[in-house]
């Protein structure tokens, strides 16, 4: 991955309103791979049962997917995201989503994304499909 692409994606995430609202941090970024972290805060991410809202976990997955799929330097958009929720994290736990490209063509790419907590407990697994537009990322 080009260094200017890497720096641009890190900068974009640091300034992304939604990522900031959930206190997400981009931790690692390599070609076709990304790791994003956030702390599960029950007061802002809880559901009606006082557990983690699926949307919060989905958002963490989507951020890892978004960043991993942009590492080729062109805009990629989600075509499909399929999540299996395995466990509900405990409040205050650091959650880590790791996305890895498992197959890619000129126009599509498949990703495997796993969410674990700081103790290594599996929280969710995901398969995602991106469409590669071929257009350069505008913020580079």
Radius of gyration of the chain from Cα atoms? 15
Reported as a pLDDT band with limits 50, 70 and 90, residue 26 is: very high
Q: Which residues make Cβ contacts (< 8 Å) with residue 57, sequence separation at least 6?
A: 83, 85, 95, 115, 123, 124
What pLDDT shows up at residue 56? 97
Q: How far apart are the first and last CA of the chain?
A: 13
Q: Which domains does the chain have, with CATH numbers?
A: 3-136 (3.10.129.10)
Q: What is the pLDDT of residues 52-102, one digit of tens each?
A: 999 999 999 999 999 999 999 999 999 999 999 999 999 999 999 999 999
Q: What is the pLDDT of residues 97-134, one digit of tens each?
A: 999 999 999 999 999 999 999 999 999 999 999 999 99
Mean pLDDT within 40-47: 95
What pLDDT shows up at residue 98? 98
């Amino acid at each position: 991955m080009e260094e200017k692409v890497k720096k641009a994606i890190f900068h974009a995430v640091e300034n992304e309103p939604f990522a900031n609202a959930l206190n997400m941090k981009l931790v690692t970024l390599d070609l076709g791979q990304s790791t994003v972290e956030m702390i599960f805060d029950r007061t802002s991410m809880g559901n009606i049962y006082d557990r983690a809202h699926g949307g919060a976990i989905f958002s963490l997955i989507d951020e890892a997917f978004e960043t991993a799929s942009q590492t080729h330097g062109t805009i990629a958009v989600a075509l499909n995201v399929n999540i299996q929720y395995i466990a509900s994290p405990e409040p205050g736990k650091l959650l880590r989503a790791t996305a890895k490209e498992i197959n890619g063509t000129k126009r599509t790419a498949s990703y495997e994304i796993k969410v674990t907590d700081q103790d290594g407990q599996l929280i969710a697994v995901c398969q995602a499909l991106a469409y590669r537009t071929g257009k350069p990322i505008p913020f580079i």
